[in-house]
């Protein structure tokens, strides 16, 4: 069984030779080594700074960006660079196309 992390007599949390002011904190606190982990359980090794300067999960940022776009209704189109939005075919659109044939 894993030992529970408690504050020492000095009021700080000592884990693996590292000292933290707080056990659970925000992503920024974890990033700046003030807190040990986030409420979701992410430690500093699970976080990274993205190109916008935000502290984000490494795992989520590595997940395929194109897959996220396809889930949101974007697809790739031949001859066009990047993903384009593909709306659902509505009955009205189908009807107007049928009349144009």
Which pLDDT score, from 0 to 100, does residue 93 have? 65
What is the per-residue pLDDT across 15-32, written as a single tens digit (0 to 9) for each?
A: 999 999 999 999 999 999
Which pLDDT score, from 0 to 100, does residue 99 have? 64
Nearest to 41 by CA among 21, 23, 66: 23
Which pLDDT score, from 0 to 100, does residue 30 have? 97
Task: Over range 28-56, report the average pLDDT.
Answer: 96
Which pLDDT score, from 0 to 100, does residue 50 have? 93
3-state secondary structure string, the chain?
CCCCCCECCCCCEEECCEEECEEECCHHHHHCCCEEECCCCCCHHHEEECCCCCEEEHHHHHCCHHHHHHHCCEEECCCCCCEEECCCCCHHHHHHHHHHC
What is the per-residue pLDDT across 54-74, written as a single tens digit (0 to 9) for each?
A: 999 999 998 877 788 888 888
């Amino acid at each position: 069984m894993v030992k529970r992390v408690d504050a020492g007599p000095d009021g700080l949390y000592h884990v693996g030779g590292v000292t933290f002011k707080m056990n659970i904190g925000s992503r920024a606190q974890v990033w700046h080594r003030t807190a040990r982990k986030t409420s979701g359980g992410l430690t500093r090794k699970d976080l990274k700074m993205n190109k916008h300067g935000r502290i984000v999960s490494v795992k989520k940022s590595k997940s395929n960006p194109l897959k996220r776009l396809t889930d949101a209704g974007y697809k790739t189109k031949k001859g066009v660079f990047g993903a384009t939005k593909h709306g659902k075919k509505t009955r009205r659109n189908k009807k107007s196309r049928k009349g144009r044939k």
